């Protein structure tokens, strides 16, 4: 089975962000914005908003306990940022949650799968 780092490699398109209360999920269609994260094999992450590069950072994935809220699991640490995100990859779906737990959770699809999903939804 591939490691979490290997599963992360690729281009991920944002699909939805939910708040802790579960109310008012944000999506590209109701915000009018797109977000993409690209993870490469060299440990670099690039962040895009509406097609423009907005940031980049080296990243690593650790399994352990968050220093911020003592939660166990896999989390991504971005060098130069005071932030960690819990991550879970299930096939072509990526779940990210800020370790502080204040911003809710984010769902991304791997780019090729997102196109297939959108096409399937449009054909229904």
Q: What confidence tens digit (pLDDT) does each residue in 80-122 have?
A: 877 788 899 998 999 998 876 666 788 999 987 545 544 444 4
Sign of CA dihedral 82, 88, 93, 97: negative
Give the number of C-alpha atoms closer than 13 A to the C-alpha of residue 45, restricted to the C-beta side: 20
**pLDDT band with cut points at 50, 70 and 90 for residue 123:** very low
Q: What confidence tens digit (pLDDT) does each residue in 29-78 have?
A: 999 999 999 999 999 999 999 999 999 999 999 998 766 667 788 989 99
**pLDDT band with cut points at 50, 70 and 90 for residue 25:** confident
Could you tell me the domains of the chain?
4-123 (2.40.128)
- Model confidence pTM above 0.85: no
pLDDT of 120 reads 46
Q: What confidence tens digit (pLDDT) does each residue in 1-19 have?
A: 889 999 999 999 999 998 7
- The answer to whether the beta carbons of residues 32 and 9 sit under 8 Å apart is no
């Amino acid at each position: 089975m591939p490691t979490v780092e290997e599963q992360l490699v690729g281009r991920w398109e944002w699909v939805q962000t939910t708040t802790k209360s579960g109310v008012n999920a944000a999506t590209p269609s109701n915000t009018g914005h797109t977000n993409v994260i690209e993870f490469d094999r060299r440990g670099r992450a690039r962040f895009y908003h509406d097609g423009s590069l907005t940031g980049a950072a080296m990243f690593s994935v650790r399994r352990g306990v968050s220093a911020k809220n003592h939660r166990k699991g896999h989390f991504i640490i971005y060098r130069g940022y005071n932030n960690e995100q819990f991550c879970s990859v299930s096939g072509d779906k990526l779940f990210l949650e800020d370790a502080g737990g204040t911003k809710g959770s984010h769902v991304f699809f791997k780019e090729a799968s997102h196109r297939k999903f959108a096409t399937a939804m449009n054909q229904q």
